[in-house]
Amino acid sequence: MPRARILVVDDEKNILTSLSRALRVEDFEVDVAGSAALALEKLQKKTYDAAILDVMMPGMDGLELLKAIRAEGKHMPVLVMSGHGSIETAVEATRLGAHDFLEKPIGTERLLLSLERCLDFRRLEVENEELRKRTGALEELIGESEAMRRLRERIQLAASAKAAVLITGERGTGKELVARAIHRASARVDQPLEKLNCAAVPSELIESELFGHEAGAFTGATKQRLGKFERAHRGTLFLDEIGDMPLPMQAKLLRVLQEGEIERVGGSGVIPVDVRVVSATNRDLQEAIELGEFRADLYDRLNVLPIRVPPLRERREDIPTLAERFLELACIANDRPRKAFGKGALELLSAYDFPGNVRELKNLVERLVILSPGETITEADARALLPIARASVSAGVYRPGVPLRELMDEVEREIILRALDHHGGNVTQTATDLDLERSHLYKKMRALDIKR
């Protein structure tokens, strides 16, 4: 397969011969035309990845030819060459959409460099166009593992119903993507999807965010404002980080969900709303209920259709697919030529636990794109960025004269701290992970002086 197909246009036969020879040596497929008219004929019949045009030609000249090419909506890169390199011609050529201007006599190296550069540029342009076309699809959930297949099934099922959905999963697993997918797959797709991040809004403002307010309802409320519920009418309301909703608001939300009507802050009278509620959290709500931080009755209301988004380490098969896609996106976003993973690199990534899940993988790949020097991301590149413990835990622990018991305590303490960190401080999950009774873990934490 030739690297690219190039059209060379010049009225001087020896130039056509020398240029096409130089290009063919470099594995390009080359067609030549001795005039602009012949060139236009060829352009009708074939598509070219790039064209090299002489300016001075009898009949139609190179700049007019360039104009004609662009007028036909052809976007391939064009290099313009001229024996009389005047600034004006170069400027005019660029204005007409030439990618580069070469002065005769043309050095092979300079020509190849310029050609490679604009072919690369065009490739990126094409990829960007495709990407833009797919922006919708961009948000799509990637992954063909059994766990992802089941997740898609759950999403379809949820989309076909109106009941409240509660999405749970560790941080960065894709809960928001799932919420959006449910909305998009539902009959409400043409109606609004509104989102409220309960952790990001100060607690005293949540009520007005959700239910809106009348002018003068409180200091600063100069105008009437619609809340998320009213805006999401007939659509979907996504309540993110629901575990962080303050208790008094939980009571109000529960009432709205029961009655199907809201009351604006400072308003008199109720407004019926038809809203599908999807909420998400990475907190263990059962634990929050035990701690008295979340209402059990609200939980039941929100959790009609539970969807659990599995952590990445439970579906490692998806890591290569995700990594490849993130690599593609990161190269384009950072203006880097397309890179590829060396084999060891993907294996290394697949073995890593990703406590930050898909988001961590995405960020890691982006860093690899920016920091790795070559076109191939090697295993060493990846290893350098992975926060995997580089030495075994026990290495370096031994110190002469210190009792084994004390050394063991150090190691145990280190392991428990790491595990807690891994689970975002969640003791229940940490205990399950380490296969300990929760009470036993608590006891150990106290003994090793680990504070929550």
Ligand X SMILES: Nc1ncnc2c1ncn2[C@@H]1O[C@H](COP(=O)(O)OP(=O)(O)OP(=O)(O)O)[C@@H](O)[C@H]1O
Which residues contribute to the site for Mg ion (CB under 5 A)? 176
User: What whole-number distance in Å separates Cα of residue 18 and Cα of residue 10?
Assistant: 11
Within 271-290, which residues bind ligand X (CB under 6 A)? 282
CB of 176 to Mg ion, least distance (A): 4
Three-point CA angle 433, 438, 441, nearest 5°: 80
User: What whole-number distance in Å separates Cα of residue 343 and Cα of residue 376?
Assistant: 10
DSSP lists the bridge partners of residue 213 as 225, 265
Per CB under 6 A, does 172 bind ligand X? yes
Of residues 6, 32, 98, 143, which one binds ligand X by CB under 6 A?
143
Within 362-381, which residues bind ligand X (CB under 6 A)? 362
> Which C-beta is closer to ligand X: that of 20 or that of 173?
173
Binding at 40: pick from ligand X, Mg ion, none (beta carbon under 5-8 Å per type): none
* DSSP codes of every residue in 322-350: HHHHHHHHHHHHTT----EE-HHHHHHHH
Cβ neighbours of residue 240 closer than 8 Å, sequence gap 6 or more: 175, 176, 179, 195, 196, 197, 198, 199, 279, 280
CB of 172 to Mg ion, least distance (A): 8
Task: Look at the chain and count its residues.
Answer: 452
Per CB under 6 A, does 131 bind ligand X? no
User: What whole-number distance in Å separates Cα of residue 301 and Cα of residue 159?
Assistant: 17
CB of 446 to ligand X, least distance (A): 30
Specify the stretch interacting with ligand X by CB under 6 A; choose among 108-116, 355-363, 401-409, 430-438. 355-363
ω into 373 cis (within 30 of 0): no
Other Cβ atoms within 10 Å of 422 Cβ, number: 16
CB of 144 to ligand X, least distance (A): 10
| Amino acid identity, position 360 | E
> Which C-beta is closer to ligand X: that of 10 or that of 176?
176
Answer for the pair 78, 60: CB distance below 8 angstroms, yes or no: no
Specify the stretch interacting with ligand X by CB under 6 A; choose among 10-18, 63-71, 168-176, 388-396. 168-176
Per CB under 6 A, does 235 bind ligand X? no
Of residues 38, 56, 142, 419, which one binds ligand X by CB under 6 A?
142
Within 416-445, which residues bind ligand X (CB under 6 A)? none
> Which C-beta is closer to Mg ion: that of 100 or that of 176?
176
**C-alpha pair distances (Å), 245 with each of 18, 232, 258, 263:** 74, 19, 18, 19
Binding at 142: pick from Mg ion, ligand X, none (beta carbon under 5-8 Å per type): ligand X
Pairing between strand 261-262 and 271-272?
antiparallel
CB of 292 to ligand X, least distance (A): 23
Binding at 284: pick from ligand X, Mg ion, none (beta carbon under 5-8 Å per type): none
> Which C-beta is closer to ligand X: that of 77 or that of 310?
310
Binding at 173: pick from Mg ion, ligand X, none (beta carbon under 5-8 Å per type): ligand X
Taking phi first (over 0 means left), then psi (-120 to 50 degrees means alpha), and beta for anything else, what does residue 436 get?
beta
CB of 308 to ligand X, least distance (A): 11
Specify the stretch interacting with ligand X by CB under 6 A; choose among 14-22, 158-166, 167-175, 367-375. 167-175
User: What whole-number distance in Å separates Cα of residue 75 and Cα of residue 78?
Assistant: 9
DSSP lists the bridge partners of residue 193 as 236
Specify the stretch interacting with ligand X by CB under 6 A; choose among 60-68, 73-81, 138-146, 252-260. 138-146
> Which C-beta is closer to Mg ion: that of 176 or that of 284?
176
Give the 3-state secondary structure of residue 151. helix
Q: Taking CB positions, which residue lies at the least distance from ligand X?
A: 174
> Which C-beta is closer to Mg ion: that of 303 or that of 350?
303
* Site residues for ligand X per CB under 6 A: 141-143, 169, 171-177, 282, 358-359, 362
